[in-house]
């Protein structure tokens, strides 16, 4: 099939080119947003997984802005910038505290602007517990059959006595940081968190207990 070619005036051609330029500028200024705004940690809390989570959080934050009217019913109202929520999935037996804190600090930095909807699935243990609790209040969800586990910070060190003593000091410092952070994010006092972590065994919780203690808000 052959289409008849229409001849355009110079003015029409300029209008076409202008429209194409405006469309291109709009597309470049507002890149496509991913439909699935999700990241998280599935597996052990390791340096690699935490670096991926940090990058994912920051990338989704930067691509999730939207300009809207402060009053949708008033076209003359102020234009404000809003941020779309990020789903952060946690299913982990735990892992490295230092790397977990890198993710925690990014969540803390972003959540006042971008809502962070945390979801605990299957298992949320050790270092993973603080990440679940760190989400935006009211938007922290946990699976009905998810198991939560809290225990004290563990350390293993051998070598010169001075090195061993130094590592124990660092382990105690990390535990103090964890206790303070978990208390800040939940309904638990620092004394209560210390009591749980000082037991010589793992402390397991079901979803209802996790909600009661303020680790999560909603059971899926």
Cβ-contact 209, 148 below 8 angstroms: yes
CA 125, CA 112: separation in Å to the nearest integer? 25
Considering the segment(s) 36-152+199-219 as one domain, its CATH architecture is Alpha-Beta Complex (3.90)
For residue 22, is pLDDT > 90? no
CA nearest to 155, candidates 169, 134, 145:
169
For residue 2, is pLDDT > 60? no
For residue 117, is pLDDT > 70? yes
Whole-prediction pTM value?
Answer: 0.77
Q: What is the per-residue pLDDT across 160-178, written as a single tens digit (0 to 9) for each?
A: 667 677 777 888 888 899 9
pLDDT of residue 211: 98
Whose tokens are 């993710």? That residue is 103
CA nearest to 194, candidates 138, 144, 153:
153
- Per the model's pLDDT, the better-predicted residue between 106 and 7 turns out to be 106
CA 123, CA 43: separation in Å to the nearest integer? 9
Q: What is the per-residue pLDDT across 54-69, written as a single tens digit (0 to 9) for each?
A: 999 999 998 887 777 7
Coil/strand/helix, residue 213: coil
Average pLDDT, the chain: 83
- Per the model's pLDDT, the better-predicted residue between 19 and 43 turns out to be 43
């Amino acid at each position: 099939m052959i289409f008849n070619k229409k001849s355009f005036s110079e003015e029409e051609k300029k209008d076409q080119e202008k429209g194409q330029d405006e469309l291109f500028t709009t597309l470049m200024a507002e890149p496509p947003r991913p439909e699935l705004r999700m990241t998280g940690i599935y597996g052990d809390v390791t340096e690699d997984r935490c670096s991926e989570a940090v990058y994912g959080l920051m990338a989704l934050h930067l691509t999730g802005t939207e300009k809207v009217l402060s009053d949708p019913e008033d076209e003359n109202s102020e234009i404000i910038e809003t941020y779309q929520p990020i789903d952060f999935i946690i299913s982990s037996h735990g892992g490295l505290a230092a790397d977990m804190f890198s993710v925690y600090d990014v969540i803390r930095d972003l959540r006042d602007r971008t809502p962070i909807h945390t979801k605990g699935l299957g298992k949320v243990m050790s270092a993973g517990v603080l990440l679940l609790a760190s989400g935006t209040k009211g938007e922290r969800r946990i699976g009905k059959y998810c198991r939560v586990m809290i225990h004290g910070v563990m350390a293993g060190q051998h070598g010169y006595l001075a090195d061993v003593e130094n590592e124990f000091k660092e382990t105690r410092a990390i535990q103090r940081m964890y206790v303070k952070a978990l208390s800040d994010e939940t309904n638990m006092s620092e004394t209560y968190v210390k009591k749980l972590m000082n037991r010589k065994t793992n402390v397991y919780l079901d979803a209802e207990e996790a909600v009661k203690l303020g680790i999560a808000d909603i059971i899926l």
